[in-house]
Amino acid sequence: MTLTIVIAGRPNVGKSTLFNRLAGKRLALVDDMPGLTRDRKEAEADIGGRVVRLIDTAGLEEAEAGSIASRMRKQSEVAIGEADLILFMMDARAGVTPADEVFAAQVRSSGTPVILIANKCEGRSGVDGYYDAFRLGLGEAIALSAEHAEGMGELYTQVVTAIDAMTERAAASEPDDESEDLGEDGEAGEDRPRRPLRLAIMGRPNAGKSTLVNTLLGEERMITGPEPGLTRDSVASDFTWQGKAVKLFDTAGMRRKSRIEERVEKMAVGDSLNAIRFAEVVVLLIDVDVALDKQDLQLADLAEREGRALVIGVNKWDLVEHRDRKLNELRDMVERALPQVKGVPVIPVSALSGRGTEKLMKAVFEVYELWNKRISTSALNRWFSDALERHSPPAAAGRRIKLRYITQSNARPPTFILFCSQPDALPEAYLRYLVNGLREKFDLWSVPIRLHLRKPDNPFDKKGGGK
């Protein structure tokens, strides 16, 4: 049983700093700006040898209905409702505020075990606030500095004690069952979870990325709305599609560099780029009304340069009238504008209604299989011999370029090594001919292909180790 620990409190009390420290790595953006975290962020954390599901939440604050802050609060309240243990944080330097009292009462009423944390207790400035924390009715607070790791030992001790107590109660409440699930060898069987496919959703601001993520997850996990730039850091969520595990990353909308001015937005874009680098498949979500502008093409090129498989989702398809004609136009545009990823799937979707998401995910897993594809050396060289016979390489400075053989060195993406007598002299156009031939022969559409040239070792070259 994996327990869920939720970090809660008003904005700017240090929740994301503590989240990163407990997770053991920087997963959430951290800044002095209040309200930086807007969506729930999750991680698996090992606390004293106990593996838990850790959730960072947006700051709890009073707000008008329908506002961004109100939507953030609802996300936090959902997380609190899922919690097995709540780490309620307050700022010791600021002391107990009216907002702290309101939200502490809300946490108390949830009936969930709570550990009270007085953060920013480094130095004398937090002493009064630490003692003031007793007013919240959540017991004695842990004096902590999440930024400087002071008081973490005490926090770990209390968290481990709470986890063990909950685990024991859960075990005691389970009925005895002498039967075991035995495997084929007669021993107790166990689930062997497959490694999840890592999928990043990227696109310009307000393309509908968070709405699509919510639809795929089947819950209002991400804050959505007409305001551009709601998502500030890449948020990872786990879900299952037709029995297959997926780790889904919603990324901040990426604008042109000249328009990225705020320090927080620069941090968010950097976080999104990291999500793409660690992804395996990228869905570029575009708005059907402004499809494939310069920024969309740059994002697609980024995914290709990072070696990721690509699928293009065309959002707001339910608003299109002449759909067949529009789809053909978009596919022609993609073929012309993205020759480096020929055959990339273009899937119409409505992120709001969910129409087209089944086709989108089917395309994601199809390109994922191609991205992992391996081809035998014998099959490659049979194709290679035919390709040379159809179109031999040109001479360079009066010398014929000899192409020896080809082999696949890696997958993810498919990577090939071509042994050649004059690697620097082989024209770019001929390389494109070979890459396109690989796509057509081995069905390597929509994934990047890496073709590296190498000069064979000369066995008579003493410098190369020959005799």
Residue 300 has pLDDT above 80, yes or no: yes
Assign residue 402 a region (left: φ > 0; alpha: ψ between -120 and 50; beta: otherwise). Answer: beta
pLDDT recorded at residue 102: 85
Q: How far apart are CA 120 and CA 93, in angstroms?
A: 6
Question: How confident is residue 67, by pLDDT bands cut at 50, 70 and 90?
Answer: very low
CA atoms within 13 A on the CB side of 135: 17
H helices then E strands: how many in the chain?
12, 17
Question: How confident is residue 459, by pLDDT bands cut at 50, 70 and 90?
Answer: low
Residue 69 has pLDDT above 60, yes or no: no
Give the count of beta carbons closer than 10 Å to the beta carbon of residue 255. 16
CA 348 remoteness from chain centre: 22
- 169 token code pair: 């109660």
Give the count of beta carbons closer than 10 Å to the beta carbon of residue 46. 12
Which percentage of the chain shows pLDDT scores above 90? 34
Crossing angle of helices 377-390 and 428-442, rounded to 10°? 130
Residue 186 has pLDDT above 80, yes or no: no
pLDDT recorded at residue 461: 53
Residue 263 has pLDDT above 50, yes or no: no
Q: How open is the CA angle 374-410-195, to the nearest 5 degrees?
A: 75
pLDDT recorded at residue 88: 92
- 376 token code pair: 């035998």
Residue 332 has pLDDT above 60, yes or no: yes
Residue 233 has pLDDT above 50, yes or no: no
pLDDT recorded at residue 255: 47
Residue ranges in 174-305 assigned as alpha helix (H): 209-217, 263-278, 294-305
Residue indicated by tokens 């992804």: 279
458/207: higher pLDDT: 207
pLDDT recorded at residue 189: 40
Q: Say what the pTM is.
A: 0.60
Taking only the tens place, the pLDDT of each residue in 114-136 is 999 999 988 777 788 888 888 88
Residue 39 has pLDDT above 60, yes or no: no
Taking only the tens place, the pLDDT of each residue in 338-375 is 888 889 999 999 998 999 999 999 999 999 999 999 99
pLDDT recorded at residue 185: 43
463/402: higher pLDDT: 402
Mean pLDDT of the chain: 80
Taking only the tens place, the pLDDT of each residue in 140-172 is 899 999 888 888 989 998 999 888 888 877 776
Taking only the tens place, the pLDDT of each residue in 77-107 is 777 888 899 999 999 988 999 888 888 888 8
Residue ranges in 372-452 assigned as alpha helix (H): 377-390, 428-442
Q: How far apart are CA 24 and CA 183, in angstroms?
A: 36
Average pLDDT (165-183) is 60
Question: How confident is residue 179, by pLDDT bands cut at 50, 70 and 90?
Answer: very low
- 324 token code pair: 């067949």
pLDDT recorded at residue 382: 96
Average pLDDT (270-295) is 79
Q: How far apart are CA 356 and CA 369, in angstroms?
A: 20
Which percentage of the chain shows pLDDT scores above 70? 77
Crossing angle of helices 294-305 and 263-278, rounded to 10°? 50
Q: Which of 41-55, 159-173, 267-281, 294-308 has the lowest mean pLDDT?
A: 267-281
Residue 181 has pLDDT above 80, yes or no: no
Residues 6+ apart with CB under 8 A from 30: 16, 17, 20, 36
Average pLDDT (211-231) is 62
pLDDT recorded at residue 26: 57
pLDDT recorded at residue 192: 39
Enumerate domains of the chain plus CATH numbers: 4-172 (3.40.50.300), 197-371 (3.40.50.300), 377-464 (3.30.300.20)
168/415: higher pLDDT: 415
438/44: higher pLDDT: 438
